[in-house]
Amino acid sequence: MKTNRLVLSVVLIFCIVSCAANIEMRKKQEEASRNLGEAYMQQRDFTLALREFLKAEKIYSKDPYLQNDLGLAYMSKNRLDIAVKHFKKAIKIKPDYAPAINNLGTVYLAKKDWDLAITCFKEIIDDILYATPHYPLTNLGWAYYNKQEYELAEKYYSDALNLAPDFIIALRGLGRTCIAMGRPADAVAMLEKTVKKYPHSAESYFYLAKAYTLSHEYKKAVRAYNKVVELAPDSPIAVEAQKEAEKIK
């Protein structure tokens, strides 16, 4: 009887060690495919990236970083509902995975589910271990802007800029919020700062032109709209800029 128990114990230990070794091998194979997929993502080849991520998922699916990558790949291909599922999987595997929570909120922004987005971003803005808290703060600003709750939008954009003073999305967002709040002088000041720091941002010049128009600085507005056309010719924003400039003329 003791001999049988000993043999059973040895077999059981062998199986556990063997299974653990197999899982580690699968993890390494999955990680190799994930790394290749991330390289394709950096090259903006989202189809090849997704192919590698799906291959990796077949090997080992319980990697939160892989699930986050899958979410990003599907989001890049505008498959938002599928992206949501993968970000949720990443968070289920690793509940404190702040980038995945932020990415889930970003998908909700794209889906215009402002309240769901706000819930995600508020979950991580006080996470002192999150390296880039100005991202969820800026995203909160955008969500509240779209809810037309401009005072809250201003607050979160300002909070983001306190952490990252040169973050262009927050700078431009705060400028747009000032326009919406009927404060063209503040908008001009913010957006002039933005184009000074980022002189190749056509979108920033577009909103600066709007701020100039509200301030009755029509010559400056036309020059700003012309700058949009110069920076982004044949783009939809350039077409809109040309229309607005013609209205002023």
List, for residues 23-77, the tens digit of each pLDDT value.
Answer: 677 778 888 889 899 999 999 999 999 999 999 899 888 999 999 999 999 999 9
pLDDT of residue 9: 46
Question: What is the dihedral sign for C-alpha 209, 211, 214, 215?
Answer: negative
Gap between the Cα atoms of 236 and 203, Å rounded: 11
Tell me the one-letter amino acid at 170. A
**CB-based contacts of 46: which residues, under 8 Å, 6+ apart?**
40, 73, 76, 77
State both tokens at 226: 């012309």
Q: What is the arithmetic mean of pLDDT over 3-8?
A: 48
Q: Would you say residue 118 has pLDDT above 60?
A: yes
In a domain, 168, yes or no: no
- Which H or E run includes 93? helix 80-93
The structural domain count of the chain equals 1
Gap between the Cα atoms of 94 and 152, Å rounded: 30
pTM value? 0.85
In a domain, 167, yes or no: no
In a domain, 79, yes or no: yes
Q: Residue holding tokens 């949009």?
A: 228
Gap between the Cα atoms of 52 and 37, Å rounded: 5
Give 239's Cβ-side CA count (13 Å radius). Answer: 3
In a domain, 85, yes or no: yes
In a domain, 192, yes or no: no
* Residue-number span of the structural domain to which 70 is assigned: 15-95
In a domain, 144, yes or no: no
In a domain, 6, yes or no: no
In a domain, 86, yes or no: yes
| Structure letter (DSSP) for residue 58 | H
Q: What CATH number does the domain containing 90 carry?
A: 1.25.40.10
Closest by alpha carbon to 102, among 134, 77, 147? Answer: 134
Q: pLDDT tens, 122-179? A: 999 988 888 899 999 999 999 999 999 999 999 999 999 999 999 999 999 999 999 9
Q: What is the arithmetic mean of pLDDT over 224-239?
A: 96
Q: What is the arithmetic mean of pLDDT over 218-223?
A: 96
What 3-state class would DSSP assign to 163? helix
